[in-house]
Amino acid sequence: MATISRTSGKILRKVQFLPIFSRNYSSVKCNKFNKYVWNTCACAIGGGILLYAANVKNRGIVYALKAKQPEELMKAVKLTSRERRFIKFASVEYGGQLYMTPQDFLESVVEQEPRPRLKRRVLTTKEIEQLRDQVPPLKKGSSQMFRSMRDRGIISYTEYLFLLSILTKPASGFEIAFNMFDTDGNQRVDKNEFLVMEKIFSYAWKGKRGMNMEEAEEGKGPQENYINDDQGLQRRHNVDTLLQVHFFGKKGTNDLKFEGFRQFMENLQTEVLELEFHEFAKGHETISEVDFAKILLRYTYLDTDEYDMYLDRLLDRVKDERGITFEEFKTFCQFLNNLEDFTIAMRMYTLADHPISKEEFQRAVRVCTGQEHSPRLVATVFAIFDADGDGRLSYKEFIAIMKDRLHRGFKSYAKNEGWDAFKSCVKQEMKSAV
């Protein structure tokens, strides 16, 4: 038993936890009591295994793995990071399907954990109708709409993916996104065209579970393509969500034009950035250079030592703190949405991947976005990422870290959850219409 305890203890002590979004704790220390607990647990687990093995041996029973049925395999499919996060933050339910409120969505992109709640709220049909009546029309949209709506609206998982994609779209991509919805090319998007997005998720869901991607019959609407999954993400439903009412009106007969669509995307990006900025500003007009660095690094996969190294480097180099304004912060985040163009520009410019100067960095930003960063912001970025302090930036390291920031911790981005899936779905729709 002592041998089992020692062996099990070694295994348990090697267990490490995955990195988390927030960085509230820099280290975890063990004391004698913790060691006692580890040894006790190891002894109990090891003893249990030994007794179970002896019992099986004495009974002469050999257990074989039971083949899983197709329904069990579907339930056993591993959920993606986005699916897990949606389930974690979704606070309401209707007809067996989970929904986020506007407040849930904002929390899911800026917080590590959802707000405390006793249980998920189950909505009635009357409450759904009341929520629909409280959604403002598109012409009254603003950069505070989600915050002002709070819990007065519902967002499906499919729309959650759509909203996440908006947060990383550059301004130049707004029209592309709109044209992907505008399947008939009349410069207007109606409700049925918007609901094609529902079918994207249906295809992705079935494909992930090894089901036939072509099984959707001609003439089936999005709701008929849904699957009644146990997680409540993909239920058959016919309910107007916040986005559907906001875009197409309470009767669903309005058309969505590009200008309204562009304004909505800009407002959402600004609202999330304001939420992040004010979390650190705490009522002031600026955030400190250190707070700016914390916002950039909060979604990265750096270990504690690397994270502290970046902050210490900044503290050593910034002697006169002037702060970062919201406009400077917003301009930088809009630049991050153009990170792919910046990467291409750097590869073409340096060829040999040489570090770049502040002037070269500014020029690349201007070429990619048409905007310029303030000298103060550029100096702060270089103070964080200039490894040896020679005034030149190793842009490969900078880009790698900023990609984590851009996707807010969702490092792996499944192809069947992105715009590739959307384009594939549109192609299938066009083929069926011919």
- What local confidence, expressed as pLDDT, does residue 132 receive? 93
Count CA within 13 A, CB hemisphere, residue 433.
9
Among residues 376, 374, 388, the alpha carbon closest in space to that of 313 is found at 388
Distance CA 325, CA 424 (A): 41
User: How far is the first Cα of the chain from the last one, in angstroms, to the nearest whole number?
Assistant: 73
State whether residue 324 is helix, strand or coil.
Answer: strand
- Residue 252 burial (10 A CB sphere; 0-12, 13-18, 19+): middle
Continuous segment of H or E residues that includes residue 293: helix 289-297
Contact in structure between 329 and 269 (CB atoms under 8 Å): no
Best CA proximity match to 293, nearest among 380, 374, 221? 380
- Residue 92: what pLDDT? 94
For 404, the 3-state DSSP assignment is helix
Low-confidence stretches of the chain (pLDDT beneath 70): 1-77, 198-232, 234-237, 350-353, 409-434
Cα gap 318→337, rounded to integer Å: 27
Calculate the average pLDDT of the chain: 76
Supply the pLDDT for residue 80: 81
Q: 209-226 b/e with 16+ CB inside 10 Å = b? A: eeeeeeebeeeeebeebb
- pLDDT at position 404: 84
Verdict on whether the full-model pTM lies above 0.85? no
* pLDDT value, residue 183: 83
Q: Encode pLDDT of 204-217 as tens digits.
A: 555 555 555 454 44
The first and second tokens of residue 263, run together, are 């304004």
What pLDDT is attached to residue 321? 83
DSSP-assigned states of every residue in 3-17: HHHHHHHHHHHT--P
How do 97-99 and 256-257 pair as beta strands?
A: unpaired
